[in-house]
Amino acid sequence: MTTYKEVYEGWRADPEGFWVEAAKAIDWTTPPTRALDDANAPFYRWYADGECNTCWNAVDRHVEAGHGDRVAIIHDSPITHSKHEITYAELRDRVASLAGALRAKGVEKGDRVIIYMPMVPEALEAMLACARIGAVHSVVFGGFAAHELAVRIDDATPKAIIAASCGLEPGRVVHYKPLVEAAIEQSKHKPDFCVIFQREQEVAKLIEGRDHDWHAFQYGTEPAECVPVGGADPLYILYTSGTTGQPKGVVRPNAGHMVALLWTMKNIYGVEAGDVYWAASDVGWVVGHSYIAYAPLLAGCTTIVFEGKPVGTPDAGTFWRVISEHGVKVLFTAPTAFRAIKREDPKGEFVGKYDLSCLKTLFLAGERADPPTIEWAQKQLKVPVIDHWWQTETGYAIAANPVGLEMLPVKLGSPTVPMPGYDVQILDEAGHPLPAGTLGAIAVKLPLPPGTLPTLWNADDRFKKSYLTTFPGYYETGDAGMMDEDGYLYIMARTDDVINVAGHRLSTGAMEEVLASHQDVAECAVIGVADELKGQLPMGFLCLNAGCNRPHDEIVRECVALVRNEIGPVAAFKLAVVVPRLPKTRTGKILRGTMSRIADGESFKMPATIDDPAILDEVKEAVGTLGYPSQA
């Protein structure tokens, strides 16, 4: 068996040869003559002279190989109390039908289509239908505010919008169609037409001439075959929040995306064709693109589309039910999901109610996986719990434990080691490499590997300014961390979450790790707040386990003492408060930057991705009890 070290060193010695070999795993209409085109650096292109089709590789080729009766998608919705399966043959027919209807309405190769859907199989079918005819899809998280949708309509200038009549949250219906109407009203660019998937929970009113019912739209049209596209042609645009408030359109190219994702399924996740793979995320985010829609289907796996929550649909045992019922081999989710489950069921009583013998590995990503959460998951599930680190921009793991190659020793708090394609360096502010164990900016030496962003949609200059300017010759990740003597990477914070306390650069992530180890703390966040004397001071927010009745001031005192013992007086950690919940994006990322601005009394833009804006008032109230914003 090949070791990680052999594979990584093999890539380093011959990157071109490594990616040429990896490209043999996908079907090509015209195979590429080389992997990397660096003629227009830093705008690198992979497999640019090859031709392929992503939908063919994800769907048709499995049917052609005789696996049409294998289940491609399982839809499990505890909110509607429904479950159903779609085979690869059924998926091909459904996708070809929708693609044919889009083509009949004038959608061609290179045209953009915005998809605004909840967690239903039709969301994946819409993505694949675009890929089938070479159209570029841009999925916007279902239920996003009208203004945010309008901004994306104006940037992507779509020919069509595909949406659902509604989305479903526990106890409420989210009305999608009025949001689409308001967005089109606000946007300068107007789509030619809309396709609406009517859900029985709410049937939307259609505008004659512009809006089409999902089923009627496809009636009597000719199914579309797969259209070959250039290897470097875009498959999709996915918007990620930008610091200016104007979202950044990350471009994902067809060929490199397929090659990289297929490589990860076997080598990182250790799954084969026919396995059931579940990424508990949403199609509106990068995890949903990479590991609900594309990677499992490219690998011939069964993917799960789950419409529910880790707790409350109906209880903290929902994940275990899904794993047990559907025979899930690998679960991939955010640490937030596990913290929510742990908070509701700290003793893991629900785990014992299900047979989880099918589960082989749990992967976590999306934010730092704190050691107490990993330890809790290890104890409850008795399987390897693997933290790995990546970004919307990269589309797959920068650092991981390559379980499919070899299981490396787990070090709590580390997403393990860089993957082939990523030459990761820790740099000081001047761009010089730092020694092992030193906190610095995490950067990746150019070129980035296949499948990562080649640029931003219609914004080459912004791409360079956002990622390539701070450290020439490197991609700036925006994360801070360090590497140990064994080459293990530690992601400690976003670069702007490294705080400066009286000249000492301290990681808020390290403090959070200590606080999370307290027996009563379910989850926590640490931010930096302005201080006249020391420049900045850390402030901790603590959410407690369900059923914890101890006095809050007692828990706060213990937490302050913990940080003092573990990190030392240098951290100057004295400010902490218990809160009922933390403000997060819908993917579970804690909005630390917004919390800092509230504590410092600065104005802030309401984050478009916030789960519940009312939480910010709770933060304001909590920091007020600590005497912030300071009147000094």
Please tell me the distance from the alpha carbon of residue 487 to that of residue 75, in angstroms, as a whole number. Answer: 40
> 312 has which bridge partners?
none
Task: Give the pLDDT confidence score for residue 1 in this predicted structure.
Answer: 67
Residue 242 pLDDT grade (very low, low, confident, very high; cuts 50, 70, 90): low
CA 104 to chain centre: 33
Task: Give the pLDDT confidence score for residue 632 in this predicted structure.
Answer: 41
Please tell me the distance from the alpha carbon of residue 461 to that of residue 378, in angstroms, as a whole number. Answer: 45
Q: Name the residue among 161, 511, 468, 229 with its Cα closest to residue 368.
A: 511
For residues 107-127, average pLDDT: 98
- Asked whether the predicted pLDDT for residue 244 surpasses 70, the reply is no
What is the dihedral angle through the alpha carbons of 242, 244, 249, 251, rounded to the nearest 10 degrees? -70
Q: Name the residue among 88, 90, 131, 128 with its Cα closest to residue 109.
A: 131
Task: Give the pLDDT confidence score for residue 418 in this predicted structure.
Answer: 98
Residue 71 pLDDT grade (very low, low, confident, very high; cuts 50, 70, 90): very high
Task: Give the pLDDT confidence score for residue 246 in this predicted structure.
Answer: 75
- Residue 39: HSE in the Cβ half-sphere, 13 Å Cα cutoff: 7
For residues 97-120, average pLDDT: 98
Mode of pairing for the β-strands spanning 166-169 and 172-175: antiparallel
Residue with tokens 């091909």: 92
**Residue scoring higher pLDDT (287 or 144):** 287
Average pLDDT over all residues of the chain: 94
Domains of the chain, residue spans: 502-625
Encoding tokens for residue 229? 């596209």
For residues 145-160, average pLDDT: 93
Q: Determine the 3-state secondary structure of 246 from DSSP.
A: coil
Choose from 186-200, 502-516, 579-593, 613-627 the range with maximum mean pLDDT: 186-200
pTM, whole model, 2 decimals? 0.87
Please tell me the distance from the alpha carbon of residue 293 to that of residue 215, in angstroms, as a whole number. Answer: 22
Instruction: Say whether domain 502-625 belongs to CATH 3.30.300.30.
Output: yes
* 481 in Cβ contact with 489 (< 8 Å): yes
Question: Which letter does DSSP use for residue 365 in this model?
Answer: -
pLDDT in tens, 293-326: 999 999 999 999 999 999 999 999 999 999 999 9
Task: Give the pLDDT confidence score for residue 554 in this predicted structure.
Answer: 96
Neighbours of 251 (CB within 10 A): 23
Number of helices and strands (H, E) in the chain? 20, 32
Three-point CA angle 381, 383, 389, nearest 5°: 105
- Asked whether the predicted pLDDT for residue 24 surpasses 50, the reply is yes
Task: Give the pLDDT confidence score for residue 496 in this predicted structure.
Answer: 65
* 531 in Cβ contact with 537 (< 8 Å): yes
- Asked whether the predicted pLDDT for residue 434 surpasses 90, the reply is yes
Task: Give the pLDDT confidence score for residue 245 in this predicted structure.
Answer: 57
Lowest-confidence pick of 30-34, 100-104, 470-474, 611-615: 611-615
HEC profile of 123-169: HHHHHHHHHHHCCEEEECCCCCCHHHHHHHHHHHCCCEEEEECEEEE
Encoding tokens for residue 280? 């508990």
For residues 213-223, average pLDDT: 97
Percent of the chain with pLDDT over 90: 83
Task: Give the pLDDT confidence score for residue 603 in this predicted structure.
Answer: 87
Task: Give the pLDDT confidence score for residue 147 in this predicted structure.
Answer: 84
Residue with tokens 């085109």: 37
